[in-house]
Amino acid sequence: MKIIELEEVDSTNSYAKSNIEDFADRTIIHAQKQTAGRGRLNRAWVDLGNGNLFLSFVLKPSNEFSEIYPNITQYLSVVMCKVLENYGLKPQIKWPNDVLIDGKKISGILSETVMQGSKFKGLIVGIGVNLNAKKQDVDSIPNKIATALNIELNKNIDLKTFRDELIKEFFKNYDQFLENGFQLIKKDYIDRNCFLNKELQVQIFDKVEKGIAKSINDNGELILLDNNNKDIVLTIGDIL
């Protein structure tokens, strides 16, 4: 495991992706500042200033893509919760991988599969965590109610300590995750969910599905029960 520290970068995910050939498996790209942080679907991840966390894991688990790899985002959401629990908080997961404190978003995860033609090159798993932010900056994040760890705990957070705890927790069960996929974390994930048994609207690109969130299956997919008592199985989407 190697950590590459950058002062400033457009996006740790973009940097990791464009230089993936240069990085060994389990390299971590950590930047102090991000000028063009990315979320899913071309959304932006806002840099809330000094002392916040922006990092990407470069993972090369094999030469072939495996269908369990996309579940790494859910794996990382559980890891994130465990780290925050050690700070005395009770985080919750909103499917697929938002980590919330009392309904407020504290962290975002963006996982990307890198292919060269049909050849699998690796995974880039990026995470942003709000650790030290001003309340007014957090309140100006578009389309989301957000928070930061310093606001929740009313004290400054040591960035490096938090980063190292996150990396340690990530690699603790990573090899087991590669063997077992989502099933390894299913219980931990469901124990922390904030969406099951609720009436939901889920946006999948330009379509919205409605139903009661019935369960999460062994692949980490969300099962909605619609008005006609029919199951809808969702692999991706945003709970509205």
CA–CA separation, 8 and 19 (whole Å): 16
What mask of x and - would describe binding to ligand BT5 in positions 56 to 95, judged by CB under 6 A? x---------------------------------------
Of the pair 22, 226, the CB lying nearest ligand BT5 is at 22
- Binding status of residue 100 toward ligand BT5 by CB under 6 A: no
Of the pair 36, 190, the CB lying nearest ligand BT5 is at 36
* In the complex, minimum distance from the CB of residue 227 to ligand BT5, in angstroms, rounded to a whole number: 27
Cβ contacts of residue 53 below 8 Å, gap of 6+?
Answer: 30, 127, 128, 129, 131, 159, 162, 163, 166
Cβ contacts of residue 150 below 8 Å, gap of 6+?
Answer: 51, 131, 132, 133, 156, 157
Please, which residues bridge with residue 130 across strands?
A: none
Of the pair 149, 213, the CB lying nearest ligand BT5 is at 149
Q: Given candidates 20, 25, 39, 94, which one binds ligand BT5 under the rule CB under 6 A?
A: 39
Of the pair 11, 74, the CB lying nearest ligand BT5 is at 11
What mask of x and - would describe binding to ligand BT5 in positions 153 to 172, judged by CB under 6 A? --------------------
CA–CA separation, 11 and 136 (whole Å): 24
Q: Where are the beta strands (DSSP E) in 67-220?
A: 92-94, 98-101, 104-116, 119-129, 199-204, 207-216
Task: Indicate the SS3 state at residue 162.
Answer: helix
- Binding status of residue 37 toward ligand BT5 by CB under 6 A: yes
* In the complex, minimum distance from the CB of residue 93 to ligand BT5, in angstroms, rounded to a whole number: 12
What mask of x and - would describe binding to ligand BT5 in positions 125 to 144, judged by CB under 6 A? -xxx-x----------xxxx
CA–CA separation, 223 and 82 (whole Å): 25
CA–CA separation, 70 and 45 (whole Å): 20
- Binding status of residue 222 toward ligand BT5 by CB under 6 A: no
How would you label 187-207 residue by residue, b for 16+ Cβ within 10 Å and e otherwise? ebbeebbebeeeebebeeeee
* In the complex, minimum distance from the CB of residue 158 to ligand BT5, in angstroms, rounded to a whole number: 19
Which positions touch ligand BT5 (CB under 6 A)? 11-13, 37-41, 43, 45-46, 48, 54-56, 105, 108-110, 126-128, 130, 141-144, 146
